[in-house]
Structures are given as C-alpha cells and as structure tokens.
Amino acid sequence: MAAESGYHLLVPTYSSSFNTCFYCGCIAAEFDYAPPVQYRDFYLATKEASEFLKIPTCGECHEHLKACKAGTLEERRTFAKDKLAKKYAKALTIYEMWSENELNDLDFSLRHSIEAGLTLGEETTERLRYPGFDYEAAEHQQSVPYNTPKYFEVFGDQFTTFREALDFASKAYRIPKNTLKEYFADNNNSFEEAIHAIHKEVAEKEFTKQLKTLCNAFAKKHKQPIIFVHKQVERYLSENEEMTIPEALEHLFLTRVMPQQKIIKG
C-alpha cells in the first residue's frame, strides 16, 4: 500500500517482545497506524500531533482501534485500553469481588460461570497493566512527499495555520472545535464541505423531528393509524420535492380521510 509510506515500524529493542501487541501484550497479528492511513493527509496538512508509527497489534486491539482517529501512540494506547476495560467490565468486576476460596459453597453452574469470569478478569487485568515494550523507530521525521497547503480557507477567509482557521470557523459557525475537526478530516480536509455536511445533518434531524410531531398529531386528531399517516406523507414527499409536510397532510386529509368520513356518515 503506497499510502503507508513514510510510517516508521515500531521495532522492539528486545527479542522477547517480538510479535507482541504494543497495547496489551497479546500476540501481534496486525498493524495499527498512528495516525490512521485514511487520515494521513489530514495530519500532514494540519500538522496536528501525529507520529507516523506503524505499530504491531493483536487482532482485538486492531479491531477496537478502527474507531480511533488519534495521531499519537499515547492517545491510541489510552483508547485501546478503555475499549478493553469496557468490553470485559463484567469479568473485571468478578475478578475484583471474588477469590478462589469462596467458590466451594456455590452450586455447580454458578461456580462454573464465576470461575470463567475470574480467569477472564485476571487475563484482562494483565492486558490493561501491560506497559508496552522498549522500541526503536527511525527518526519521526516525515519522509512523505506532500505539498503542505499555503493557507487554510474558510468561505473566502484565509488563515496561515490550521489552528487559527479552526478557531475562526468554530466561532463563526457556532460548531464545537472537536466536531468541526472530525468533519474536516472526513470531508476532504475542507472547511466548506465540513460545515455543509454538519448543516445538512442538523437540517435532516430537524426535518425528521417535525415529520414525527406533525404526523402523530394528525393521526390523533383524525383517528388514523400513525404508521399509515407516516407512510402516506413520506410517499407524497418523495413524489413531489416541492411539497411541505403540512401540504402533504392536507393532501392526505382531502384524498383519504375526508372520503372515508363521508362514507361513515353515510
């Protein structure tokens, strides 16, 4: 994969740590990247903290770290440990609460499940305590050919650093910095695309909320099944992009509800 060029492999100083997950000490089967390869351009462009390391990782930590966008080893280590602790929270509690000699009084099935919890809890505790290994990695200098942008643009305003641009955009568009940063990284390193994406999401949420409120009120008022009202309104809206929710409800009333009432009233 050409995209991973420029990353430095974390090589254990001592052979006893070869093929070991840096995060938890299990057998390594994969590599983790700090920062993740898909966010490489984001880190290169913004100069946000990142180390460009390729880290031996076990399958489980690798899976957990797929959700982590952080650029440094330390941040990724904290993320991986948190995930492990959450995943095995039950076993960890058993390990803290019970000891082997308390098991004799229990009936077979309970004893069996507590024993399993104790083993898993002990193993997880060791993984959480694992301090990582001594390593050598080549100088953390970027050897990646990359044209750092001369400035960052926020709808026409130009800034020389990412920080200034983020600060400005966050205040101007009232979007928390962390949210904006994530959307920036996920939207082609563009403030414009990031802000559009956020606004679109907010508008969609608002629309869904409105749809629900109005349809439910209509269903109640005209004694119609809620699902029927929702389905019809959604159909009208998909057939006619110009139509608003109140217009769709009006249409539903005239074409379906009113004729129904006439029949009933005879």
Q: Is residue 26 close enough to count as binding Zn ion by CB under 5 A? A: yes
Task: Locate 250 and state its tokens.
Answer: 């009006």
d(CA 157, CA 170): 13
**Interaction of residue 88 with Zn ion, rule CB under 5 A:** no
Residue 179's contacts (CB-CB under 8 Å, 6 or more residues apart) are 198
Question: Between residues 26 and 215, which has the closer beta carbon with respect to Zn ion?
Answer: 26
Identify the burial level of 57 via C-beta atoms within 10 angstroms of its C-beta, where 0-12 means exposed, 13-18 middle and 19 or more buried. Answer: buried
Considering the complex, what minimum distance in angstroms separates the CB of residue 10 from Zn ion?
13
Applying CB under 5 A, the span of 13-21, 39-47, 132-140, 162-170 interacting with Zn ion comes to 13-21
Among 61, 89, 59, 97, residue whose Cα is nearest residue 76: 61
Residue 28 touches Zn ion, criterion: CB under 5 A: no
Q: Judged by CB under 5 A, which of 7, 8, 12, 23 binds Zn ion?
A: 23
Which residue stretch of 17-25, 174-182, 185-193, 239-247 sits at the interface with Zn ion (rule: CB under 5 A)? 17-25
Question: Taking the complex as a whole, how short is the minimal distance between the CB of residue 250 and Zn ion, in angstroms?
Answer: 59
- Minimum CB distance to Zn ion, residue 22 (Å): 8
CB 65 within 8 A of CB 79: yes
- Rounded to a whole number of angstroms, the minimum distance from the CB of residue 228 to Zn ion is 51
CB of 59 to Zn ion, least distance (A): 8
**Residue 68 touches Zn ion, criterion: CB under 5 A:** no
Tell whether residue 95 is a contact of Zn ion (CB under 5 A).
Answer: no
- Dihedral angle of Cα 228, 234, 240, 242, to the nearest 10 degrees: 120
Q: Cα(138)–Cα(11) distance, rounded to whole angstroms?
A: 9
Residues of the shown chain interacting with Zn ion in the complex, contacts defined by CB under 5 A? 21, 23-24, 26, 58, 61
